[in-house]
Structure 1
Amino acid sequence: MPSRHDQSEHRSLSSRPGLLFFSLVVLCCFACLKGVSNAAGEDRIIAEVNGEAVTDAEYRLFLLKDPTPDVRNTVDEKILTRLIEERLILHEAKKRRMTVSDNDVEQSIRDFQQRNSLSPQAFEKTINDKGMDLSQYKKWLKDNIIVIARITDSEVDSKVMVTEKDISDYYNQNRRLFVKDPEKILTGAIIMIMSENPSPDEITMMKLKSLRIYNELKKGTSFDAMVELYSEDPSKGKNGIIGEFRRGELVPELDKKLFGLREGEISEPIWVKEGIFILKHVRSLKETYVPVRDAREHIKATLLKERRETRYRTWIKSLWERSKIIIY
């Protein structure tokens, strides 16, 4: 029986390295935003979520999550939508009387300090520099960031699972994504090198010579023997073997012809800048794949991400449908 994601794959709040980092970044302009709001008088309401106002100052604070320069002085619909969704999640948490203990907050802070090599004193100084004392910060963290993470874990992460069959099916249906070494062809060639500035007579003689060689090969003369007699390339000493080639590695004229040959087949003469080639498809080296056992974790992460996003959007849609939203 496959284990549920909340049992085997669940990430604790303390394992989220970005959680407290974001909360600290948000605080960077917290005091400044409060000052702007107070100076301007009553804060402008830009939306309501179940009767609760969403203000312009809250929107500016939320912008710190994704500070897009061209929307700093406007209310961007997509960003406002995300803010409303966050508010919907908080409302749902309150309805369920979902709480976070002081121990959860303390543990999250300790984990953050340890990961970032911060002493408790240095961490508190950072909070103070942003316009809050530690107790205010803990309350804000508890009421917003951690509650959102916890209810999202409950409604989304805990309901997402990936089985071994899912992993196997994905691997088999997407084999091209796991090619380790593409198909190659062991290639032989008879090469007749053309001089830098050939005369018309030289070109004619080379053409006739290449056709004679090709006709001999068609009659069944050994390719190796013709290499020995006529090839002008150092590969002559290796029975004409010029290497193993993937599709696209040779110049287009040679590549197209080589990959159109069956194994053991020989091409007609091919003219290129360097001279004339007669190619032989000696042996196909089939493509190899990353074993499914080595791709397992990557596939699992991919499927979890896709399914989490689908589950999250479905859940958020249901919250919108059950709520009263007004946007001004």
Structure 2
Amino acid sequence: MISSLRNKKKLITFSLWFIIAAFVGTIFFVWGVGDQAQQALYAAKVDGVTITDQDFRDKVESTKNQFRSLFGDNVNDILSGVKLEKSVMENLINEALLRNEAVRLELPVSDAEIATNIQSIQAFQTDGKFDPQLYVQLLSRNRLTPQIFEESLKQDITLKKMEDLIKQSVAVTDKEIEKEYIYRDSEATIRYLELTADNFIGDVKITDEALNAFYEEHKAEYEVPTKADFKYVIFDPENYKAEFKATDKEIENFFIKNKASFVEAEKLSAAHILLKVDNWSDEIAANEVYKKAKDIKAQIDAGKDFAAMAKKYSQDGTAETGGELGYFTRGQMVPEFEKVAFATKPGTVSDVVKTQFGFHLIKVIDYKPETDPVLDDVRDQITATIIDQKSQSSFRTYVFDIYRALVNKSNITAYNLQSEDKLVTNEIKGLSAKGDVEPLIGLADVAKKILSINKSEISQVLEVKGRKMVFEMTEKYDAYIPALADIKEKVTAHFVKVKSLELAQQKADEAAKLTSMDEAANMLNKNYTTTPKFKRSQPITGLGLNEKLMTDIFRASPEQFIQEAYTIGNKVFIVQVKEIVAPDVKAIGEQVKEQIKSQLYGTKSAQAVASYVLNLKTKAKISINPRYAEFYN
């Protein structure tokens, strides 16, 4: 069952990444001019709920940005093809299904929960505290109002509550933990023979006939892609100069309209020690856990350090940091925990608290009462925000007016020929869809967009590294495949590389059909190498990582000669398993056990949500806009 769960996890990891990604990034979208007609289109409909074209494009764009922040320019290789769009479409549909189900089950979301979540978002904090001015400014810069953002946040909270409800059915048994521990920590040692393609280069026969056949077979790999030249103009908000003021009336209206966003809820900072109870029906075992919690409390009362005791005894992820939970407000913890925490004085430790998770000791570190500022307390913040909003709005209008003029004149070239106030232009030469020329290096999505226009046409206003840009295609070069005569040296090198590896594979396959490693070594006139011990998750010294090889090794028996050759890079390996040693399950430490349990819980929870969604899909009416049919199976 564990291996089955593990394989399923691999299939759903990519889509589930979107579910746990920070919602702030998914709400903030890239602003563009010229898309008004497309915004009215739909991407999908789920039981009457519409996923708009804009929803889909915004989510694709924000997800690309998130991946780009993680992987840099490599993002284009990772997100090749349409797998990103497929995952985004799948995720949006899954979210719609779960939200619809939450509505059917009448799962509530209070205003207090929304406020608490907003105030806990680091992007809206200054020096660890919620900053109302920063909150409104960030929303304003992305053309969002607090009302729109908070409704979106409400949807995210609803989704999380629905997922949490599904996950309540998930449990991890001790037997599963032991099996996973054995799977993870078993160690193997192998013997291997290595054949390198370079050793067979001299055996490759190069003839015109063979080279021609190879060229025809691999012709697509030599294609020179479509390229184009562009001129473009840049609109940089940092260079936009305009003076604005905020009137007293505007400040007052802003305060009245957004007063709730300036209120900071009552909160406290605490640490805890948790002793888990796995089975409440076993009263004897539960009572033993309670006695242990009381004993720990007595030791703390006698002078033991709370953080040290948490590191030693607590059975959750906060143990390493001394049980620290940070700041939280009412509604964020289970009721039993919250009631005692808010009744405990800062600097003191509570008595033993029972919750669904087990028994807790709570140390309150700090307490902050609710703050409800008057207008004068936040006047400067509001003034700066209003001015910032006016500046952003003015900049957008400025760009739109110029873009409209460009459209009226047909393109940038015609505009500069006919207008006295000429635009400063820049040039790009030989851009391909990979995004391989400045300023679009690593921005394949932008490169693809502007390559889709025709010569002399202009693009929409596009967001590029925080600036707005408009591109005009000045020349286009169609994709082509060079004649063999023009790239004969390149094709020959490729031919030799491929054929020498094939010869190494043929030789290795022949040796792997023998009955033992000794026979294979004698046939190849080579000595085998013995590796140090390694686990499934570790690279094999001399071979590296290869999923199929690793699977076959740990499925084999000690001393088994695996009658298959494995190609890794430009080398081919023949393998014999020397030994496999399983760990002693009695030696599992509590911390390792807890880590495994947490990982298994995550895997099983993800599978539970996926299974629930699959069941919802069988009953749902889902329609996809034909324009997006390739993104949904």
TM-score tier after normalising by the smaller chain length: 0.5 to 0.7
Deviation at 1:112, TM superposition (A): 2.1
Deviation at 1:28, TM superposition (A): 2.8
How many angstroms apart in 1 are the aligned matches of 2:108 and 2:34? 32
Deviation at 1:96, TM superposition (A): 1.8
Change (3 A) 1:246 1:90: closer
Report what 1:160 is aligned to: 170
Equivalenced residue count is: 209
Matched, 1:106 2:115: yes
How many angstroms apart in 1 are the aligned matches of 2:159 and 2:50? 19
Change (3 A) 1:116 1:159: farther
How many angstroms apart in 1 are the aligned matches of 2:595 and 2:173? 14
Report SS of the residue matched to 1:76. Answer: helix
Q: Residue 143 of structure 2 aligns to which amino acid in structure 1?
A: G
* Structure 1 segment 104-253 matched on structure 2, within 5 A: 104-113=113-122, 117-120=128-131, 121-142=133-154, 144-155=155-166, 157-171=167-181, 173-174=182-183, 177-178=184-185, 246=532
Residues 45 and 56, structure 1, Cα contact 8 Å, conserved in 2: yes
Q: Percent identity?
A: 19
Residues 105 and 141, structure 1, Cα contact 8 Å, conserved in 2: yes
Matched, 1:24 2:21: no
Change (3 A) 1:288 1:41: closer
Deviation at 1:36, TM superposition (A): 5.0
Q: Residue 27 of structure 1 aligns to which amino acid in structure 2?
A: I
Report what 1:83 is aligned to: 92
Report what 1:230 is aligned to: none
How many angstroms apart in 2 are the aligned matches of 1:72 and 1:56? 20
Matched, 1:56 2:53: yes
Residues 46 and 96, structure 2, Cα contact 8 Å, conserved in 1: yes
Deviation at 1:78, TM superposition (A): 3.6
Report what 1:237 is aligned to: none
Change (3 A) 1:19 1:45: closer
Deviation at 1:158, TM superposition (A): 1.2
Residues 162 and 304, structure 1, Cα contact 8 Å, conserved in 2: yes
Deviation at 1:54, TM superposition (A): 2.5
Residues 160 and 304, structure 1, Cα contact 8 Å, conserved in 2: yes
Deviation at 1:71, TM superposition (A): 7.9
Q: Residue 319 of structure 1 aligns to which amino acid in structure 2?
A: L
Deviation at 1:287, TM superposition (A): 9.1
How many angstroms apart in 2 are the aligned matches of 1:165 and 1:134? 49
Report what 2:501 is aligned to: none
How many angstroms apart in 1 are the aligned matches of 2:26 and 2:48? 25
Please report the RMSD computed on the Cα atoms of aligned residues, expressed in angstroms.
Answer: 4.0
How many angstroms apart in 2 are the aligned matches of 1:87 and 1:71? 26
Q: Residue 305 of structure 1 aligns to which amino acid in structure 2?
A: G
Report what 2:101 is aligned to: 92
Q: Residue 163 of structure 1 aligns to which amino acid in structure 2?
A: T
Change (3 A) 1:82 1:109: same
Report SS of the residue matched to 1:100. Answer: coil
Deviation at 1:250, TM superposition (A): 12
TM-score by length of 1: 0.52
Q: Residue 145 of structure 1 aligns to which amino acid in structure 2?
A: D
How many angstroms apart in 2 are the aligned matches of 1:287 and 1:310? 28
Deviation at 1:27, TM superposition (A): 3.4
How many angstroms apart in 2 are the aligned matches of 1:167 and 1:322? 35
How many angstroms apart in 2 are the aligned matches of 1:166 and 1:153? 22
Report SS of the residue matched to 2:43. Answer: strand
Matched, 1:317 2:614: yes
Report what 1:193 is aligned to: none
Matched, 1:296 2:573: no
Deviation at 1:166, TM superposition (A): 2.8
Deviation at 1:49, TM superposition (A): 1.2
Deviation at 1:303, TM superposition (A): 0.9
Deviation at 1:288, TM superposition (A): 7.2
Q: Residue 615 of structure 2 aligns to which amino acid in structure 1?
A: S
Deviation at 1:65, TM superposition (A): 4.9
How many angstroms apart in 1 are the aligned matches of 2:111 and 2:186? 50
Deviation at 1:136, TM superposition (A): 2.7
Residues 20 and 112, structure 1, Cα contact 8 Å, conserved in 2: no
How many angstroms apart in 1 are the aligned matches of 2:28 and 2:541? 56
2:63 to 61, 66, 71: 66
Spell out, residue by residue over 1:134-191, the C-alpha distance to the aligned partner (whole angstroms, 9 max, x if none): 233212211x211111111112x211111334323432x42xx3269x89xxxxxxxx
Report SS of the residue matched to 1:159. Answer: coil
How many angstroms apart in 1 are the aligned matches of 2:84 and 2:21? 25
Deviation at 1:319, TM superposition (A): 0.8
Residues 167 and 300, structure 1, Cα contact 8 Å, conserved in 2: yes
Residues 99 and 158, structure 2, Cα contact 8 Å, conserved in 1: yes
Q: Residue 116 of structure 2 aligns to which amino acid in structure 1?
A: Q
How many angstroms apart in 1 are the aligned matches of 2:137 and 2:118? 14
Larger radius of gyration: 1
* Structure 1 segment 32-43 matched on structure 2, within 5 A: 32=31, 36-38=34-36, 40=37, 43=40
How many angstroms apart in 2 are the aligned matches of 1:307 and 1:79? 22
Report SS of the residue matched to 1:53. Answer: strand
Spell out, residue by residue over 1:240-260, the C-alpha distance to the aligned partner (whole angstroms, 9 max, x if none): xxxxx9469999xxxxxxxx9
TM-score by length of 2: 0.29
How many angstroms apart in 1 are the aligned matches of 2:80 and 2:606? 25
How many angstroms apart in 1 are the aligned matches of 2:100 and 2:171? 26
